[in-house]
Amino acid sequence: MINCGLLLLEYDDSVYIDALVVETPEEDDPIDIPIIPPPPPIIPPGILGNFFFDVSQTSTSGSGANAKFIVRANASTSAYEDVYVMPFNTGVNYANGDTITVAGNTLRGQTPTHDLTFQVAGVVGGKLSTLPGSTQNITGNANIYGSSITGNGFGAYIDRNAIGIYGAGGQVDVAPAANVDLTSNTAVLRNIAPSVPIDLANIENGAYTVLTNATPLGEMPNAGVADYGLRFEIDVEYANNQTVNNFVSNGQNFLNFSEVPTVINSQGEFEVTDDMVSAEIRLQGFNTLANVGGNASTVGFQNLKYDMFKVNKGDLGSFGL
């Protein structure tokens, strides 16, 4: 036999409650679809000379910052015509009506001749709009490759400002001058050319290469061999008016040559920094050749030259003496 226990429970209305259902308003746009900015303009091949990319403002009448632009100038008139806001660099704190200025020396030109100004006309939450018409009242004239204003259309020329961002820049040549005042058979370095001043405040910072060249003058001495030396020295003036003499001194000696070489050269590096304002570069040398036919003032160098250049994105200064 199996005995079972039975428990009886009694429930009243206080045990049960009605469910409360609250209906929320229907959401009009349940999915947040991001705004896709328009693509940058398609630039036809061959006219890149009148476009300027990754442009930053130099100043503004407001407090906006950090926006980047693509600028287009008219290829025929050189006038700035369009300023596009780069989609992923729309900046902060801009307001409609802000006037933005871009210095001409950041647009392959000069300041103020090639300065660009424009007004902001489209702002969303302090950010510049990428839609057409977000910039207006564009003024200024560009310095562009092959402009009909300065040449005969594309293919006319490339000026030093345009080529400076791609290569060594422009070159300055000075007619060489011989130095025949060295003492024969003397292996002592001395100045063989006048010092040349260099403006460091207006060239790009970075490492510059200095090349020196010269052709020895004289005749082989009785010993049958001769020595030669060539080097450059640079004195640097800083913004605090301090001058460091022989900041760079670099050269090369050529010993026991049985013939007079047609050219000797040396190479060194010079690092330009923000706090440098100017420098003086000088060329030094020696040779132990004898006077030609015993005549005085026939020992020295000719075709003297030294070049200071930056292979990538720099200015080139070439000084022939």
Q: According to the model, what pLDDT value does residue 180 have? A: 85
Whether residue 145 has pLDDT greater than 70? no
Strand pairing class (196-199; 243-257): unpaired
User: Does 196 reside within a domain?
Assistant: yes
- pLDDT reported for residue 70: 92
What is the C-alpha separation between 259 and 102, in angstroms, rounded?
A: 59
Range of the domain at 244: 186-320
207/304 same-domain check = yes
Kind and range of the H or E element at 71? strand 65-73
Residue 18 lies in a domain: no
- Fill in the amino acid letter for 213: N
Average pLDDT over residues 154-171: 46
Q: What's the pLDDT at 172?
A: 35
| pLDDT value at residue 160 | 52
The residue count for the chain: 321
C-alpha closest to that of 183 among 276, 62, 285, 265 = 285
156 part of a folded domain: no
Q: Compute, in degrees rounded to 10, the torsion defined by CA atoms 168, 232, 253, 295.
A: 110
Mean pLDDT rounded to a whole number for the chain: 79
Of 139, 154, 174, the one marking the end of a domain is 139
- Phi, psi dihedral angles at 170 (to 5 degrees): -85, 170
Please give the residue that has the higher pLDDT: either 144 or 208.
208
**Span 261-289, mean pLDDT?**
88
Q: Are residues 53 and 129 in the same domain?
A: yes
Q: Is residue 52, in this structure, part of any structural domain at all?
A: yes
**Dmax over Cα atoms in the chain, in whole Å?**
148
Does residue 174 have a pLDDT over 60? no
Model pLDDT for residues 8-40, shown as the tens digit of each residue: 556 566 655 666 666 666 665 555 556 566 665
Which of 106, 139, 172 is a domain's end point?
139
pLDDT at 20: 65
Residue with tokens 């560009």: 142
Which pLDDT score is estimated for 152? 39
pLDDT of 315 > 60? The answer is: no
Q: Is the pLDDT of residue 239 over 60?
A: yes
Do 64 and 127 reside in the same domain of the chain? yes
User: How far from chain centre, in Å, is Cα 247?
Assistant: 24
CATH code: domain of residue 309: 2.60.120
DSSP H or E run through 162? helix 160-163
Q: How many domains would you assign to the chain?
A: 2
Looking at the chain, the whole-number percentage of residues with pLDDT higher than 70 is 71
